[in-house]
Chain A
Amino acid sequence: MNQEQVPQDQENLNEGKLAKLYYATDEKGHYVKVNSIGWEPETVAMQQAWDVVNDEVEEARQKVLSGKASPLLYHIKKNIMTPALVASYAGTFGFMVRLHCHPSFFRRLSRKQLEKYAYTFRISVEQLTDVERLKNPQ
């Protein structure tokens, strides 16, 4: 890639925080370093991965609001985690986490267990259990 061809696509997901380093060639074929603010195909691929995540979060939110799942499910999806990963943070087992995604089991959880889940998502127990908040997520 020639240094003039290094893409600078304005539409990117870097929030202006990042201009990545690329290796590109000068006219003789020797390498120089060039910064790039974004490239469309990469942005598309990244956006696509986030679309999958966001769809799952939305699906989980609807389930929680309609009472089919506990808020735990929403927070798992929101943090791009899996039950197994949550279990390793909260010191329990994956199947227990899956069980607690059901409202009836979630309601019976002790304060201590709720605190462990809240710690996992770095929120308070109130934020974890509050379903009302999910009606207007930020």
Chain B
Amino acid sequence: MTVNFNHKQSAHCESGVVSNLLRFHGMDFDEPMVFGIGSGLFFVYLPFVRVNGIPGTAYRTWPGQIFKRFSERIGIKIERQKFSTPEKAMTALDQMLDKGQPVGMLTSVFYLDYLPAAYRFHFNAHNIIVFGKENGRYLVSDPVMEHTTEISYEDLARARFAKGMPEPSGRMYYPVQMPGEYGLNKAIWTGIKQTSDHMTRIPMPLVGSKGMQYLAKRLRHWPERQGDRKAIQWLGNVIRMQEEIGTGGAGFRFIYAAFLDQASQRLQNEKLFDLSKRLTKSGDRLRDFAYEAGRVCKNRKSDVKTFVELGDMLEAVAHEEQAIFSELYDVSRTQ
């Protein structure tokens, strides 16, 4: 059974899935709105969490948080399920599709064969929507793709039951109850307050803009401490986390600035638009950082000077973000 599903491309998978699912249920939220209300923006440097020996960097919150926070703030009830076996998970999916209910789910990109091969690493927290089944193949709305696509039963079952961290365990979700009345303005302010609070006020060195400063400090010493090969690999990973699929540019900073832009129009608040413009500028500088870092990676030679300069660039951005989000916090406190 196929339903009439209106797919819109988005930059980030989680906010895109929420936006597309809710549009099906008659609520129109643009992706940046979902991202902002769900407090998606963050920064964290995790030197002790190593993937293939490379320290982790994230420009966003933990997977799943955006959806959770967003649905709490707007008042949507979500049914979440996980399963013990692929067969049960696929049967439950078929039942939902028979009812004409599109279902969001967690998958591993390694098994999604419609994506370009270059993106298919073992990343287990990719969100997609399955909205129908035709000739034994599932119709997929993957928010990062321009158009809807399809996938075979075997691949989808594999993708939903990939192993490793985090295990999707066939997790799927769908809204069961839409809110009656909801305070959009309040939800926007709650989202802003949480993001700005987390970016500036958590008293730990590795998170928020402090985390970015810390990374900048460490990054300067990578060539001498880790050797050229590792330093370049680690730097490459920072760029990937910042610019690769799903970020909308500059490590989610542009999506968030788009949210502030939309919020300022909705709330008639000029201050938010000013801060949006400042965040755009600081995002541009992050792009410059990625550009320079890309050149270092391309030439495969890390001389200490370049890494020091890169560290300076990143630190400047960290200071600017500290200023922007402090101001944003003050603005949200007055509401």
Chain A residues within 8 Å of B, Cβ to Cβ: 1, 13-15, 17-25, 29-31, 33, 35, 39-42, 44-50, 52, 80-81, 85, 88-89, 122
A-B contacts, 19 listed (Cβ < 8 Å)? A1-B284, A13-B116, A13-B119, A15-B118, A18-B144, A20-B11, A21-B9, A22-B254, A23-B32, A23-B248, A31-B254, A31-B276, A39-B243, A41-B243, A41-B294, A44-B239, A46-B119, A49-B236, A52-B233
Partner of B122, one of A1, A20, A23, A85: A85
Partner of B115, one of A18, A19, A21: A18
A18 touches B116 (CB 8 A): yes
Chain A residues, Cβ within 8 Å of B32: 23, 31
In the assembled complex, how far is the CB of residue B20 from the closest CB belonging to chain A, in whole angstroms? 13
Whether B293 sits at the interface, judged by CB under 8 Å, is yes
B11 touches A1 (CB 8 A): no
How extensive is the interface on chain B, given as a class?
35 or more
B258 touches A15 (CB 8 A): no
B255 touches A23 (CB 8 A): yes
Chain A residue nearest to B239 in the complex (CB): A45
Total cross-chain contacts (CB, 8 A): 124
B118 touches A46 (CB 8 A): yes
**Interchain CA distance A33-B255 in the complex, whole Å:** 10
A40 touches B294 (CB 8 A): yes
A42 touches B283 (CB 8 A): no
Chain A residue nearest to B110 in the complex (CB): A80
A45 touches B9 (CB 8 A): no
5 nearest A-B pairs in the assembled complex, by CB-CB distance:
A41-B294, A13-B118, A31-B258, A88-B163, A23-B254
Partner of A15, one of B117, B145, B284: B117
What does DSSP make chain A's interface, helix, strand, loop or mixed? mixed
B116 touches A17 (CB 8 A): yes
Chain A residues, Cβ within 8 Å of B280: 1, 25, 29
Partner of A44, one of B9, B233, B248, B297: B297
In the assembled complex, how far is the CB of residue A123 from the closest CB belonging to chain B, in whole angstroms? 13
Q: Would you give the 0/1 interface string for B24-59, flagging 1 where the beta carbon is closer than 8 Å to chain A?
A: 000000001000000000000000000010000000
Q: Which of A23, A25, A42, A46 has the most CB of B within 10 A?
A: A23
In the assembled complex, how far is the CB of residue B310 from the closest CB belonging to chain A, in whole angstroms? 12
**Interchain CA distance A17-B284 in the complex, whole Å:** 27
In the assembled complex, how far is the CB of residue A137 from the closest CB belonging to chain B, in whole angstroms? 15
Whether B73 sits at the interface, judged by CB under 8 Å, is no
Whether B222 sits at the interface, judged by CB under 8 Å, is no
Chain A residue nearest to B145 in the complex (CB): A18
A46 touches B114 (CB 8 A): no
**Interchain CA distance A35-B10 in the complex, whole Å:** 10
B277 touches A42 (CB 8 A): no
Whether B203 sits at the interface, judged by CB under 8 Å, is no
**Interchain CA distance A29-B32 in the complex, whole Å:** 15
A35 touches B11 (CB 8 A): no
**Interchain CA distance A50-B236 in the complex, whole Å:** 11
In the assembled complex, how far is the CB of residue A84 from the closest CB belonging to chain B, in whole angstroms? 8
A41 touches B114 (CB 8 A): no
Chain B residues, Cβ within 8 Å of A25: 280
Chain B residue nearest to A52 in the complex (CB): B233
**Interchain CA distance A29-B184 in the complex, whole Å:** 24
Chain B residue nearest to A34 in the complex (CB): B249
Chain B residues, Cβ within 8 Å of A45: 236-237, 239-240, 243-244, 293-294, 297
**Interchain CA distance A47-B239 in the complex, whole Å:** 12
**Interchain CA distance A52-B250 in the complex, whole Å:** 25
In the assembled complex, how far is the CB of residue A24 from the closest CB belonging to chain B, in whole angstroms? 7
**Interchain CA distance A133-B255 in the complex, whole Å:** 47
Chain B residues, Cβ within 8 Å of A81: 122
Whether B287 sits at the interface, judged by CB under 8 Å, is yes
**Interchain CA distance A18-B118 in the complex, whole Å:** 11
Q: Which of B32, B240, B276 has the most CB of A within 10 A?
A: B240
Partner of B273, one of A15, A29, A48: A29
Chain A residues, Cβ within 8 Å of B237: 45, 49
- Known A40-B294, A48-B232, A85-B164; contact A23-B249, beta-carbon cutoff 8 A: yes
